[in-house]
Amino acid sequence: MFKKKEIRESVPEYDFERDGSLVTPEYDPSYTVVESYWARPGLSQVVIAVTPSNEYQYLVFEPSLTPFEKEVLERLYAGVRDLLILEDVALDEGSKTTALYDAMEKYLERFEIELEPQAVYKIRYYLKRNYLGWGILDPLQHDRDIEDISCDGYNTPIFLFHRKYRNIQTSIVFQDSEELDSMVVLFAQKTGKHISVSSPIVDTALPDGSRAQLTYGRTVTSHGSSFTIRKFRETPYSPIDLILNHTFTVEEMVYFWMAAEYNQSILFIGGTASGKTTSLNAVAQFIPHLAKVITIEDTREITLSHQNWLASVVPDATNVLEGRANIEMFDLLKAAMRQRPEYILVGEVRGVEAQTLFQAMNTGHTTFSTLHAGSVDSAIHRLENEPLNVPKAMIESLNVVSSQVRLYRDGKQIRRCNEIVEIVGMSETKDVVVNTVFKYRPDTDNVVYSARSEVYNRIAEITGNDMNWISRELQRRAMVLEAMIDQRIRDYRDVSEIFWRYYAMPDLVLSSLDDLSVLLESGIMAPSLRRNMRADLDTPLV
């Protein structure tokens, strides 16, 4: 007994470098492998292959189990579940994993089952995958190249939107309706929601921040339960990321830097998945670090490193207790107006909250927001009409509109800022007058600057400077951005730190351009809040 317990306790946590791979990929020899990478090193492997019909296939490989290991795992599912129910398990991930492993050890000890370390690693993987992860979808959760996961029913392959290969079919299939129903219920339960035949549709955010739209049974979909998951990027893009990704140029980012610092309101427009919220989040990093910022979203997507930041999320209507008022974005926006914010960031305007947002602009608040629209003209048209109904006179208080598009070049997806337009005023015929500052040229994949900017003129006026000062300031800030690009300083916390340093001590930042890391070693952020992390330089950009 003691010997067996000692053997089991001697099995440490799996380590890829020490223990090697637990996966052996096997696929159709007629497939041509294009790329292979780990979703989780040694535990789940992804192979991108081209089929004989010249289509991409996303193949997932996990550890294979022997018949004995499968039997042990099946027996463990029920036994471990019962032990976990009896345990008062803390909610953090580490405690859950420890409790899961302890329950497994108790079960193996009870039935005097001895396993080799490789078998222990594999069984631990599947237990953790199914109890704490996304089940058969778990490798997709850990793949940073995936934007969307779509399931249209059982006996139908899962489809993805991959950052490199766009729409792609996977090797993952729910074999029967019960298995798929259980997964949909699991997703709902992970977020504290209820889904059933009587309430078959749920929109929610998973614990990792990913958006999920779930349907249950055949009430609303003929092929049974379904789901669509839009994955959440834990570390947001910084302005440097978007420059490296060619979504914006250095000159455009300097423009946003000046606009954000000097309280110009910005609206990011574009189609679905054009990167509107990503750009809003990046530009918000230019906001001075002590400014009071309030963000209002349906689903939490904006991530800042500011200390004086209040993040508000619209509660889901299905979670509102009986007798309580249904709180909407409009209500949160009205409440925010009473909290004296300097910057109000709204994830997306869709309804009457747009009127309140523009009232905030008219009363001197700086606002950043997003809107679904294909062009500046269509954005203005949407603002003026149902259901937004923003009075035309109020639209004049908006300073900048940034239009984004999603394009494809050489089979790859790219995102570009199509144009940056300023709202200049109203004409005698009551039409909105605009000035195009930057315009993207798709034929050459570059940006043309018009050399005219009302925002720059306005900044010169409120600061008491002339356009020569503006020109010098643009050059200095461009040098700071280029230095961060050269030194691979991409993490949003580090990037924000340097911006804040520039506001306080511009000469110090300019004198440190050869090595900006010296500024990060004694940062502005409180030590307890600051995590001086450099971005993984191998992380793929979008």
Quick one: pLDDT at residue 10?
A: 64
Phi, psi of 470 (to 5 degrees): -60, -45
In the β-sheet with 32-40, what is the strand arrangement from edge to edge?
Answer: 32-40, 44-50, 56-61, 166-173, 157-162, 146-151, 226-230, 211-215, 201-205
- State the DSSP code for 317: G
Sign of CA dihedral 109, 110, 116, 117: negative
Are 105 and 120 in contact by the 8 Å Cβ rule? The answer is no
Quick one: pLDDT at residue 57?
A: 96
Pairing label, strands 366-372, 266-270:
parallel
Residue of 253, 307, 236 whose CA lies nearest to 480? 253
Region label for 488, one of left (φ > 0), alpha (ψ between -120 and 50) or beta (otherwise):
left
- What 3-state DSSP class applies to 168? strand
Residue type, 263: N
CA-to-CA distance for 47 and 62, rounded, in angstroms?
A: 11
Q: Give me 298's structure tokens.
A: 């349906």
Quick one: pLDDT at residue 531?
A: 42
DSSP-H helix ranges across 218-292: 239-244, 250-261, 276-284
- State the DSSP code for 136: G
- State the DSSP code for 287: S
CA-to-CA distance for 525 and 164, rounded, in angstroms?
A: 36
| pTM, two decimal places | 0.79
Quick one: pLDDT at residue 254?
A: 98
Q: Give me 27's structure tokens.
A: 């696929």
CA-to-CA distance for 346 and 366, rounded, in angstroms?
A: 11
Average pLDDT, consecutive stretches of 10 residues, N- to C-terminus, the chain (542 residues)? 45 92 94 96 96 95 94 83 59 72 84 89 93 92 92 95 90 94 92 89 86 91 92 87 96 98 96 91 96 89 92 69 65 88 92 89 92 94 92 92 91 89 90 95 94 96 95 97 96 95 94 93 51 40 42
Quick one: pLDDT at residue 139?
A: 95
Q: Tell the burial category of 182 from Cβ atoms under 10 Å away from its Cβ (0-12, 13-18, 19+).
A: middle
Residue of 221, 181, 188 whose CA lies nearest to 207? 188
- Give the N- to C-terminal CA distance of the chain in Å, as an integer: 55
Residue of 458, 453, 269, 418 whose CA lies nearest to 354? 269
Q: Give me 407's structure tokens.
A: 């394009």
Quick one: pLDDT at residue 92?
A: 57
Residue type, 445: D
Quick one: pLDDT at residue 542?
A: 41
Quick one: pLDDT at residue 2?
A: 38
Are 279 and 268 in contact by the 8 Å Cβ rule? The answer is yes
CA-to-CA distance for 176 and 178, rounded, in angstroms?
A: 6
